[in-house]
Amino acid sequence: MTDATSTPPGGGARTKSSLMTLDNRVRRRNAAEARFRAYGIAAVTVGLIFLALLLFAIVRNGVPAFTQTFMTIPVELKADKLDKNGNRDIEEIKKVSTFGYKPLIIDAMSRTLADNGIESPFAKDKDLEKMVSASASAQIRDFVIANPGRIGETVDFRVLASSRVDGYMKGRVAREDLARDKNLDAEHLDVTDALNEAGVLKREFNWAFILGADASESRPEQAGIGVSMLGSFFMMLVVLGLALPIGVAASIYLEEFAPKNRWTDLIEVNISNLAAVPSIVFGILGLAVFIQFAHLPQSAPLVGGLVLTLMTLPTIIISTRASLKAVPPSIRDAALGVGASKMQSVFHHVLPLAMPGILTGTIIGLAQALGETAPLLLIGMVGYIASNYPDGIASGFLDPNSAMPAQIYEWAKRADPAYYERAWGGIIILLLFLMTMNIIAIILRRRFERRW
């Protein structure tokens, strides 16, 4: 210990100071500390503010989609228009197209105005047509075809108001906007106000948005997300049916049986990299392999499901392996010790114990797949108007359909801003599904989680 010198290393430069007084340097350092901490708080706050803004935007813009403006109008089903020959022949009645019903609606509107003592500001009653959704004539026609006996009567119909009237009722369309809008004039809004006061116009909860089908570009008031919800449902069936068994089987092999060699190393590296491959690349894969190569039908939920399966597999494998790893070796040893084969020990003991973890991982993987859009764009699940419910199970898998996120994208692309409201509303439904799935996963984890 010859190196030790008797003076302290700093040469005794420091004078003895009291602990009770802070020197300037410590004060400066403490200020830096406070600043640093403030940056941290600011960062967390910024993150939370972004989340709050996002949720606020979704709720504020999306909630109106769940209500819709309806009006009840008395329509006289004039026999001379609908059934010229008067023989109530259903084939002849069917020949009258929806166009033939328009005059009835216009009449009904002007009668409604008259009944409520509202003076029509229009020179021609025809202008009133713009206030009613184009879907109304189809609705009335369907009624007439179903009940040909009621031709000649006056029946009260609850019809959708047009999207502009609806937008005005919801505050989405302002009077200033009308200058650029050829679909509606200021007079229409006056009539709307009057009808609203008279209680003819009503904003009601719109089940058709949740359960209904998509509509063409020009009638946003009629569009619903129900059909694409079914598309998503069939896709999730495919994902669940394939990704869960394959993922679990692959994880069991890799975790329990695989020898440590190059091949398994390669599989492992490959899986962790696949999990980070951009989803759009899976779309290209689906397009090239399932559609170009295997000639599976375009836009079919089956193909969407296959693509999402491949995309979800790495997630499921990674979480399944983690839950298999969490089962302690003592369980395996105990089973092997009483003479079970390796396979029996895994299937009888390890797998059941790991099941809650596997299910949690699978649900989270499914939630991811449910919200994924990009690959669906490439296999043609966008740009398709999902207007028909599938007829059965086979048609559910194979007939062209859309999916919830793809439907939302489709609405976001459409020119009519009324569709934006639908897109936000669709997001609320999608997020409700995702939230439910995640809550189930959390409950599963809480309930069955075991600490060894």
Partner 1 sequence: MPALWLLCIVLAIAVIGFFLGRARAMASAQGDARHLHSLPGYYGYNTALTVLVPALGVMIAWLILQPMLIQNAVSDAIPGTAYADTGALNLIMSDVRRVADGLDLAIAQGAMTPDAATALSTETTNIRETLAQVGVALGSDVEPYVLSAAQDYRRLNGIGHLAMTVIVLALAIGGFAFAYLRTNKDFRARNVVEKGVLAMLIFAASIAIMTTIGIVLSLVFNTVEFFKLYPWTEFFFGLTWAPSFGGGSELGIIPLFWGTFYISIIALAVAVPVGLFAAIYLSEYATPAVRAFAKPMLEVLAGIPTIVYGLFALLTVGPALVTVFGPDATGWMGGSRAVITAGLVMGIMLIPFVSSLSDDIINSVPQAMRDGSLGLGATKSETIKQVVMPAALPGIVGAILLAASRAIGETMIVVLGAGAAARLSMNPFEAMTTVTAKIVSQLTGDADFASPEALVAFALGMTLFVITLGLNVFALWIVRKYREQYE
Partner 2 sequence: MYDAPASEQKVTQNETKIAARNVQVFYGSTHAIKDVNVEIEDKTVTAFIGPSGCGKSTFLRCLNRMNDTIDICRVEGDILLDGEDIYDARVDPVQLRAKVGMVFQKPNPFPKSIYDNIAYGPRIHGLAKNKADLDDIVEKSLRRGAIWDEVKDRLHAPGTGLSGGQQQRLCIARAVATEPEVLLMDEPCSALDPIATGQVEELIDELRENYSVVIVTHSMQQAARVSQKTAFFHLGNLVEYGETGQIFTNPVDPRTESYITGRIG
Contact residues for partner 2 (CB under 8 A)?
A: 1, 3-6, 8-14, 16, 18-23, 25-26, 29-30
Other Cβ atoms less than 10 A from the Cβ of 403: the count is 32
Q: How far is the CB of 16 from partner 2 (least distance, A)?
A: 8
Tokens (6 digits) for 240: 């669940």
Q: Are 191 and 131 in contact (CB under 8 A)?
A: yes
Q: In the chain, what are the helix, strand and coil shares in percent, each to the nearest 5?
A: 65, 5, 25
Q: Are 212 and 223 in contact (CB under 8 A)?
A: yes
Among 75, 405, 422, 444, binds partner 1 (CB under 8 A): 405
Cβ nearer to partner 2, comparing 8 with 392: 8
Cβ nearer to partner 2, comparing 1 with 415: 1
Check residue 75 for interaction with partner 1 (CB under 8 A): no
Strand partners, 157: 73
Distance CA 438, CA 433 (A): 9
Q: How far is the CB of 31 from partner 2 (least distance, A)?
A: 12
Binder of residue 84, out of partner 1, partner 2, none (CB less than 5 to 8 A by kind): none
Among 280, 334, 432, 439, binds partner 1 (CB under 8 A): 280
Distance CA 362, CA 312 (A): 9
Contacts of partner 1 in 350-379 (CB under 8 A)? 367, 370-374, 377-378
Binder of residue 3, out of partner 2, partner 1, none (CB less than 5 to 8 A by kind): partner 2
Check residue 440 for interaction with partner 1 (CB under 8 A): no
The alpha carbon of residue 342 and the mean position of all alpha carbons in its chain are separated, in whole angstroms, by 44
- Residues touching partner 1: how many (CB under 8 A)? 89
Looking at this protein, which amino acid is placed at residue 257? F
Distance CA 191, CA 73 (A): 14
Sheet holding 154-160, edge to edge: 154-160, 67-76, 201-205
Q: How far is the CB of 208 from partner 2 (least distance, A)?
A: 54
Check residue 33 for interaction with partner 1 (CB under 8 A): yes
Window of 48-56, 95-103, 194-202, 208-216 that interacts with partner 1 by CB under 8 A: 48-56
Distance CA 260, CA 231 (A): 42
Check residue 40 for interaction with partner 1 (CB under 8 A): yes
Distance CA 198, CA 113 (A): 10
Binder of residue 236, out of partner 1, partner 2, none (CB less than 5 to 8 A by kind): none
Check residue 312 for interaction with partner 1 (CB under 8 A): no
